[in-house]
Structure 1
Amino acid sequence: MVDEELNAKLGDFGLARLLDHRAEAQTTETVMGTKGYIEPEFVETGKRCVESDVYSFSIVLLEMVTGLGPWRNSKPLPSWVWELYAGQNTRVLEAASPALRSAAVESNSDQQMERVLVVGLWCTQPARSERPSIAHAMWVLEHTDAPLPVHPPGHGHLTVLGRSSRQRVSGR
């Protein structure tokens, strides 16, 4: 959710339950959440972790640039964007919404859109250990001189040239 000044606000996403707050902590074995925002590993294992949030963050990044929901033609949004992404000869900008692309001509923001799309893909790595931290992803988004992840031949796998995606960015 976003307020009138475009500040992000968190909601409970319909996952809250009525319970006795004096009772002991409770957990559930049921996987809950909105289809498309839940990482595939959580659906399989039922276990959440920090990297689960990184995955969900990536879906929001991809939605902002594509103007689409978490699914496109019964396919997860990241899968569709991955298909357009081809390393050095990228077509990833084809995923950007037509409205953003036409505005980009006037503002010369193609590089910014590409940065958000590529970082979004980086955060959807199939292996949780290959996803960046939110701090590292934000640093790459905020610094245009930061190296973008590069997609090697294997589908759905990114590495950052000269830096492991798991390496913490010092001072960031």
Structure 2
Amino acid sequence: MPNGSLATLLQEASHQDGHVLNWPMRHLIALGISRGLAFLHTSNMVHGDVKPQNVLFDADFEAHLSDFGLDRLAIATQTEASTSTSVGTLGYVSPEAVVRGEGSKESDVYSFGIVMLELLTGKRPIMFRDDEDIVKWVKKHLQRGQIIELLEPGLLELDPEASEWEEFLLGIKVGLLCTAPDPVDRPTMSDIVFMLEGCRVAHDIPSSADPTSQPSPA
């Protein structure tokens, strides 16, 4: 792929105050990843290792998923560490996938949520210490009403009165829904595509899975 991976693009953005990636581009990347995963899940396939390194861009910067299916199966059969190969990557793998030693559609959704939050905030999931992670960090700032703190430097120019601001908040909400502790509370990838295409989050999603619905402390 001529334009490399999302990991490289995010790294370049971090060294240029985020201006490599504007909001429309980030939104399209998230939508492209979600469509790819939705297609896999509709075909009864599980990716198993969703992370920025496995999101590649063609000449038009359209996102494509790599490292799944037969390719991953071949790797697993060539190494004794097939279990660790199949559950995902530290920082992106869901808690239940670690416990069970295998991926699922729900764990793919969790990994997508982590990638989504990283894409929006510029924070890598492995940069946190102690008991905090990117999900807890985002929730903490939301509860304090510190939404500006969530913005990756290149997104600080977003106008709070513009539709792009609402799209950013929707992206944060999607990321948190995807990383709900209970896999049952996570939306499907088809639901996520629906949300990111500009529709509101469905009313039947449990409010307990949506931390952004909680009032901020006074």
Compute the TM-score of the two structures, normalised by the length of structure 2.
0.57
Question: Are residues 140 and 93 of structure 1, via their aligned partners in 2, closer, same or farther at CA, if it must alter by over 3 Å?
Answer: farther
Question: Are residues 106 and 133 of structure 1, via their aligned partners in 2, closer, same or farther at CA, if it must alter by over 3 Å?
Answer: closer
After superposition, give the CA deviation of every residue in 1:57-110 in whole Å (9 maximum; x if it has no partner): 111111111112223432421121121223xx84445312121122x1399221
1:119 aligns with 2:177: no
Question: Which residue of structure 2 lines up, in the alignment, with residue 78 of structure 1?
Answer: 135
**How far, CA to CA, are the matches of 2:83 and 2:76 in structure 1?**
17
Query: May I ask how many residue pairs the two structures share in their alignment?
Result: 149
Q: CA RMSD in A?
A: 3.4
Q: Is the contact made by 1:54 and 1:131 (CA closer than 8 Å) also made in structure 2?
A: yes
DSSP-derived class of the 1:17 partner: helix
Counterpart residue identity of residue 158, structure 1:
D
Structure 2: which 5+ runs fail to align?
Answer: 1-55, 214-218
User: What's the CA shift for 1:159?
Assistant: 8.2
Compute the TM-score of the two structures, normalised by the length of structure 1.
0.70
User: What's the CA shift for 1:112?
Assistant: 0.9
Structure 1: which 5+ runs fail to align?
Answer: 21-25, 162-172
Question: Which residue of structure 2 lines up, in the alignment, with residue 105 of structure 1?
Answer: 159
1:40 aligns with 2:98: no
Question: Which residue of structure 2 lines up, in the alignment, with residue 166 of structure 1?
Answer: none
Q: Is the contact made by 1:101 and 1:110 (CA closer than 8 Å) also made in structure 2?
A: no
**Which residues of 2 match residues 22-171 of structure 1 at below 5 A?**
28-30=82-84, 32-74=87-129, 75-86=132-143, 90-102=145-157, 104-105=158-159, 108=162, 109-146=164-201, 152=208, 157-158=209-210
The counterpart of 2:64, out of the listed 1, 9, 23, is 9
Flag the structure with higher helix content: 2
Counterpart residue identity of residue 166, structure 2:
Q
User: What's the CA shift for 1:28?
Assistant: 3.7
Percent identity over paired residues: 29
